[in-house]
C-alpha cells in the first residue's frame, strides 16, 4: 500500500459533508454576484429617478410660495408708503377745513377768528403745528378759519405779515384787524384758551 491509497482509505463518508451541485442559472440574478450588483444599481437608479422629480417639485413649490410672500410684503410696504386718497371721520374733515393757499385776499368777515399759520412743510416746529391746526379747524368749524401759508415756497405772505421766524401764528378778527400773534410752537391748550377769550365756543 502506498501513501496515496492510505490517505483515500482514511476519508470516510462520515468525515465529508457533500455540497449538492447547483447549476448557475443565467436567468436567476441571485446566483450571480455580478448580476446581483447590476440589479441593485438599476433599482437604485429607478428610486433616484422617482425621488429627484419629487424633490425638485417640492423646491419649486417652496420657492414659489416664498416669492409670493415677498411680493405681498413688498406690495403691502409699497401701499403703506403711498398717501391714502380716502380718509374718514375727523381726519378727513380737518384736512378739508385747513385752507392751504398763496392768496392774500382772505375774507375774514364770516368767522369769529381767522387763525393764520405762516410756516413751511419741512421745518420741524412747523410740522408739530400741523396736527394742532387740523384739530382746531375740525373742532371749531364755522367759528375759526384756519389758513396755512408755506413761506418757503412763496415768501410774499411772510412779507405781508412781517414775520421774523417760522412758525408764526397771526390771529385776525372779523374786521380784518390783527388781535394777536405768537412765534414758535403754540401748544393747543394755550391756543384754545386764547380762542375762547375771543368768544369761540
* 151-160 pLDDT, tens digit each: 999 999 999 9
| Mean pLDDT (the chain, rounded) | 73
% of the chain exceeding 70 in pLDDT = 53
pLDDT the model gives residue 53: 62
pLDDT tier at 96 (50, 70, 90 boundaries)?
A: confident
Burial class (CB in 10 A: 0-12, 13-18, 19+), 63: exposed
Cell numbers at 117, concatenated: 399759520
| Contact between 181 and 171 (Cβ < 8 Å) | yes
Cell numbers at 111, concatenated: 368767522
Amino acid at each position: 500500500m502506498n501513501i496515496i491509497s492510505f490517505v483515500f482509505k482514511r476519508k470516510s463518508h462520515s468525515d465529508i459533508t457533500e455540497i449538492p451541485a447547483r447549476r448557475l442559472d443565467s436567468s436567476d440574478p441571485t446566483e450571480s454576484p455580478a448580476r446581483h450588483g447590476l440589479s441593485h444599481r438599476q433599482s437604485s437608479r429607478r428610486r433616484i429617478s422617482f425621488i429627484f422629480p419629487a424633490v425638485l417639485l417640492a423646491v419649486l413649490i417652496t420657492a414659489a410660495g416664498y416669492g409670493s410672500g415677498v411680493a405681498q410684503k413688498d406690495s403691502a410696504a409699497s401701499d403703506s408708503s403711498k398717501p391714502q386718497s380716502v380718509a374718514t371721520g375727523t381726519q378727513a374733515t380737518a384736512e378739508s377745513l385747513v385752507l392751504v393757499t398763496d392768496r392774500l385776499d382772505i375774507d375774514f368777515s364770516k368767522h369769529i377768528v381767522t387763525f393764520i399759520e405762516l410756516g413751511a412743510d419741512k421745518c420741524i416746529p412747523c410740522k408739530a403745528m400741523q396736527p394742532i391746526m387740523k384739530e382746531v379747524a375740525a373742532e371749531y368749524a364755522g367759528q375759526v378759519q384756519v389758513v396755512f401759508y408755506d413761506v418757503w415756497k412763496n415768501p410774499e405772505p411772510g412779507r405781508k405779515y412781517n414775520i421774523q421766524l417760522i412758525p408764526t401764528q397771526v390771529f385776525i378778527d372779523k374786521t380784518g384787524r390783527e388781535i394777536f400773534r405768537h412765534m414758535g410752537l403754540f401748544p393747543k391748550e394755550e391756543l384754545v384758551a386764547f380762542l375762547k377769550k375771543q368768544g369761540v365756543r
